[in-house]
Chains A and B, each alone.
Chain A
């Protein structure tokens, strides 16, 4: 599903964010990218969604080399993946329903599809009764659920989550992890960047560890070291 071959990403003249990283992620996997701040976790996620291009190496998504993909095809690549962020990236002038519907609206889905899929996904994340609220009327955990609903409403093959529990207390963070696990069980490949020891140790999923841009560990059912 996702393959990186000897990927190197350099910012500016000499800031190496990722150095010679290779790994394979199979369809339906749940993978943690771990490491301290600045170790290259977010860069890897950005390379997968073609927000960045590597200086060397290739990134393959569903059998397609995303570095060689023409710019006009990138939106279609992104429709096959959902993105979740630490700061939620919700639109404050839109309601919960509108925020989630927005993801379908901008890819041209007709109104009847939106009216069918948005309530279903809000139900899945447990926010069916808060569809008319605005983001600032919700708690952090609820806002992250809206963000996950928006990422998942199009039923993507891949979910990329960048520190989704970073701004949440442990109990709320666990709730978010249960949600991501449920999404993973439905067949979506989940790649999550985190430095939350507790969650990694609790979930016991595959762990890819980075240190200053270098892959130092790739372990099935791993823990945070």
Chain B
């Protein structure tokens, strides 16, 4: 058993060295495509952070001042609910201080200055309103009504903040997903081609192996291992790239003025680590698929 494992690794390494140019091409393509997959995840997470406020078709947010009393809140709640023909009262939600504070943690993840200014006591609470109409003029007149209510700090409209970002987010998601899928397919094809070339270069050896009674799996495994390593090394490189990009992004965002909202695009480091593990897994899988197909199809020599 040990000698078989040693044989598989020795042959994998030898093949790596023999096919250096093709191997490098396969590994780099995997790395670039995986990096793009990683960037897609991070960008999406950044947009999600930015849009967290507007989750669930929320169109209006009424912010209450931090010193608003229960009576003030109940009064505003009553005013909002008094227009059930315009407002979806079943979806009306009120975020108290702890809930608003938790939301701010995500929203301002990359803005420590802003976060340090907020405490569960000083944070404004909010009403999230889903309307039954898309009439922009009507929504604006509602917002104007709410703004003058006592202890209302301000009213935000989805139309102003959300829609541009939402459209942009959808566009970026489509483009990055399509590009990363195309590049992943290219990486699988390149790995497939590299393994096919490696098998062709060793066709005489494979012929002899079959004649002396080597099993197909014994012949296949070093090639499959080689493809798996292509994907895995590509994955490791893409993780390095993603880490560097994320660091550069974080320090770039830190240069913006607090409160501009750009800081929401910073993702937590735990999420980045999760994406890296995912990239390694996708890389290994892509390598295994490419080499597995090649090793099965081209064994008949």
Q: Which of chain A's residues 56-79 have a Cβ closer than 8 Å to chain B?
A: 71-72, 75-79
**A71-B211 Cα distance, complex, nearest whole Å:** 13
- Which chain A residues border B1 with CB–CB below 8 Å? 108
**A110-B208 Cα distance, complex, nearest whole Å:** 19
Instruction: Check if A105 is an interface residue, CB within 8 A of chain B.
Output: yes
- How many CB-defined contacts (below 8 Å) exist between A and B? 55
Decide: A79 and B213 in contact? CB cutoff 8 A: yes
Number of B residues near A (Cβ < 8 Å) is 19
Instruction: Check if B67 is an interface residue, CB within 8 A of chain A.
Output: no
Instruction: Check if A91 is an interface residue, CB within 8 A of chain B.
Output: yes
Instruction: Check if A221 is an interface residue, CB within 8 A of chain B.
Output: no
Instruction: Check if A150 is an interface residue, CB within 8 A of chain B.
Output: yes
Decide: A110 and B211 in contact? CB cutoff 8 A: no
Decide: B3 and A79 in contact? CB cutoff 8 A: no
Q: A89-B204, A91-B205, A102-B208 are in contact. Are A107 and B213 (CB under 8 A)?
A: yes
Instruction: Check if A111 is an interface residue, CB within 8 A of chain B.
Output: yes
Chain B residue nearest in CB terms to A78: B213
Instruction: Check if A217 is an interface residue, CB within 8 A of chain B.
Output: no
Chain B residue nearest in CB terms to A160: B211
Instruction: Check if B212 is an interface residue, CB within 8 A of chain A.
Output: yes
**A130-B101 Cα distance, complex, nearest whole Å:** 82
Instruction: Check if A7 is an interface residue, CB within 8 A of chain B.
Output: no
Minimum CB–CB distance for B50 against chain A, Å: 57
Decide: B4 and A108 in contact? CB cutoff 8 A: yes
Q: A105-B3, A110-B3 are in contact. Are A79 and B204 (CB under 8 A)?
A: no
Decide: A154 and B212 in contact? CB cutoff 8 A: yes
Q: Which of chain A's residues 81-122 have a Cβ closer than 8 Å to chain B?
A: 83, 89, 91, 102-103, 105-111
Residue numbers of B with Cβ under 8 A of A are: 1-4, 7, 204-205, 207-216, 218-219
- Cross-chain pairs A/B with CB under 8 angstroms, 22 sampled: A51-B211, A72-B215, A75-B214, A75-B215, A76-B213, A78-B212, A79-B212, A83-B211, A89-B204, A89-B207, A89-B211, A102-B208, A103-B208, A105-B7, A106-B7, A106-B209, A106-B219, A107-B212, A107-B213, A108-B3, A108-B218, A150-B212
